[in-house]
Structure 1
Amino acid sequence: MPMRSIIDAPPVSALAQFQNNFGKRFLLTVDTEEEFDWAKPLSRNEYDLRHVVHIGRFQQFCEGEGITPVYLIDWPIANSELAVKILGPALESGKAEVGIQLHPWVNPPFEEEVTQQNSFAGNLTPTLERSKFRLLRDMIESRFGTAPVMYRAGRYGAGPNTSEILRSGGIAIDSSVRPKFNYRADGGPDYTAHPVAPYWLDDEHQLLELPLTTVFSGLLRATADTIYPAFWRAPFLRGVFSRLGLMERIPLTPEGISADEAIRAINLGIEDSLPLLVFSLHSPSLAPGHTPYVRNDADLDRLYEWFRLIFSHLRNNNVQSTSVRMIMENVVR
């Protein structure tokens, strides 16, 4: 049976079920990547890895909170001796996990032109997308001593061939889908019609999709899936509707989202009976000066306080941390 394309919304029958004792869970994912200037054109060479040393502090923080983060690693990180040294002990003890994140512009083989269109791996030829993925998968396994089973396309840039490439490459979980977001203006996919709950990408239940959690809040929440996509050509209306309390899109991330907003989204996710909440963070935000979200030490302090508040709220609502391993053990096949 052929795979369903990641970029196509699935049928309702594809929604995944979990064992009854799985309960309410959340997964913390970290897009673990090089630093680059988000305001400049992409480059194969103009990046740095100065923030990597700060990943150690974040891992210790997560361990203190009883959280098992999954670090979705791209090519520059996979080749960093420091990253291996920092994450190695946590991986060996089961206190962290690693997966794959493909940034095609810094990932060999370098056969394509560096363009906005080609920054979405799913836009590459199937042969080139597969070659980049397999080189990265093998590099991560060699460097970190564990075979990654989870994947996320950089910039959420999955394509029509990605699911087949992943299944043939031993991947059990994809997390490239960002529901309620549309990247067509930049040449990427449109995920506005995709569900937030986990679902299967094949009828044999071999490849599971874990969408990043995004919810709508506001008085018009019930109709937001229909109304919000119409704002694609009039983005200023998003701010108007948000300020009026009519409609607000809230992804579960500390980057640009306040703790109050995230707590509201968590509560709505619980109300909607989502079995799994998927949080995300870019690793360069773990040090000041590398992303628009953490410019200085005060911003970094706020990021850690955001996580403290969120983890406390999750515990108080009996939403427990999970891991890739636990998800695979508890999903009903």
Structure 2
Amino acid sequence: MQPAGNFFAYPPASELIRLGDGERPRFWVTIDTEEDFDWDAPFARTGFALGSIPALADCQAYFERAAVRPIYLVDWPVVADDRAVDILRPACAAGRCEIGAQLHPWVTPPHDEEVNARNSYTGNLPVALQRAKMTVLRDAIGDRFGVAPTVYRAGRYGLGRESAAMLAALGFRCDTSVRSGFDYRAGHGPDYRAAPLHPWWVQTEAGPVLEMPVTTVFDGLLGRAGRALYHRVARSGSRAGAALARLGLVERIALTPEGIPADRAVRAIDIAIDARLPVLNFSFHSPSLQPGNTPYVRTAADLDHFYRWWDTVLDHLARRGVESTTGAEIMAMAERKAAD
């Protein structure tokens, strides 16, 4: 039996947070706001860049025009960059965005661990070191952005068994690290294949933490059975999963502009609405806001396509009556339902 009080002890279906009769889902835009680095290179404490930071201004302006309040999950190098503070702190103070925390352990002090793939998942580090890194990041965000962050995402989705209790003790009220439908064990990371898509409360001695999973759905001719088949076949690599999608049998669709065509994202939105998810959780990495940093945005044309993706997706959400929400509003919704 899994120990209670951690993000991997998934609750029974009866304890998941669901929409009530007559309620409409909302959507949330979460941005992994981080340094630029080579995703194919070994992890390193130094050698990263921050060239994409100015592009945060264009991103924020785009979402303001769309009446969307994104949450920037900032990591240590971003917190230390004055340009990021100048762009995001006024927007946050004016209520046009939110600021949360994202922990990349390899660039976050204290630097007491060996830098390697296994240790790139915070949950694999000694508990005291995890807590120290979380504390340093939380305090720096408070000092630099003028807010106490209450939303957390583990870099690389790297939660550990002790993460919930530590987050609660440090004042975090919501986690959004669980990427349902993904398995990171091959790289020493967590296994989220069986994770729910609906949010749920994780009870700890330090208080409750709301888990708000990143949204990924499955589509295809095989229906519900397709998810299990996908995980069995995808062990052979991403090409095996792509073959299933080409055959129309099963397709895994994440709500992200990174690698997911707009028409598939629209299909995923409809699936999520049919599943009555209370929140559709979109995500992407801030280095994709500048060409050349990620596999998804290599050219200026790719960047234009990135924003056109959002045009298509936001138009479809509006047609379906799905409005934007924030971390604060999600917490208020979950607390109301807990009190019912």
Contact 1:19 1:330 (8 Å CA) reproduced: no
| SS of aligned partner of 2:315 | helix
Partner of 1:263: 266
Partner of 2:233: 231
Partner of 1:248: 251
Partner of 1:142: 143
Q: Is the deviation greater in 285-294 or in 195-204?
A: 195-204
Task: Work out the CA distance in 2 between the residues paired with 1:311 and 1:140.
Answer: 30
Report the residue type matching 1:293 in the other structure. Answer: Y
Q: Which runs of 5+ in 2 are unaligned?
A: none
Report the residue type matching 2:86 in the other structure. Answer: K
For residues 204-224 of structure 1, give each alpha carbon's deviation from its aligned partner in whole angstroms, at most 9, with x where no partner exists.
972100000000011012112
Task: Work out the CA distance in 2 between the residues paired with 1:173 and 1:188.
Answer: 21
Partner of 1:163: 164
Task: Work out the CA distance in 1 between the residues paired with 2:182 and 2:298.
Answer: 25
Contact 1:22 1:330 (8 Å CA) reproduced: no
The CA deviation at 1:229 is: 1.7
Contact 2:164 2:204 (8 Å CA) reproduced: no
Contact 2:76 2:104 (8 Å CA) reproduced: yes
Task: Work out the CA distance in 2 between the residues paired with 1:20 and 1:137.
Answer: 38
The CA deviation at 1:4 is: 2.2
Task: Work out the CA distance in 1 between the residues paired with 2:243 and 2:285.
Answer: 28
Q: TM-score, normalised by structure 1?
A: 0.96
1:1-333 → structure 2 map (5 Å cutoff): 4-17=5-18, 23-202=24-203, 206-235=208-237, 236-331=239-334, 332-333=337-338
Q: Indicate the percent of aligned positions where both proteins have the same amino acid.
A: 46
The CA deviation at 1:24 is: 1.3
The CA deviation at 1:3 is: 5.3
Report the residue type matching 1:238 in the other structure. Answer: G
The CA deviation at 1:259 is: 0.2
The CA deviation at 1:231 is: 2.0
Report the residue type matching 2:216 in the other structure. Answer: T
Task: Work out the CA distance in 2 between the residues paired with 1:194 and 1:171.
Answer: 21
**Count of paired positions:** 332
| SS of aligned partner of 2:225 | helix
Contact 1:213 1:252 (8 Å CA) reproduced: yes
| SS of aligned partner of 1:77 | helix
The CA deviation at 1:325 is: 1.3
Q: Which runs of 5+ in 1 are unaligned?
A: none
Once superposed, what is the RMSD of the aligned Cα atoms?
Answer: 1.5
Task: Work out the CA distance in 1 between the residues paired with 2:168 and 2:19.
Answer: 21
Distance 1:187 1:137, change over 3 A: same
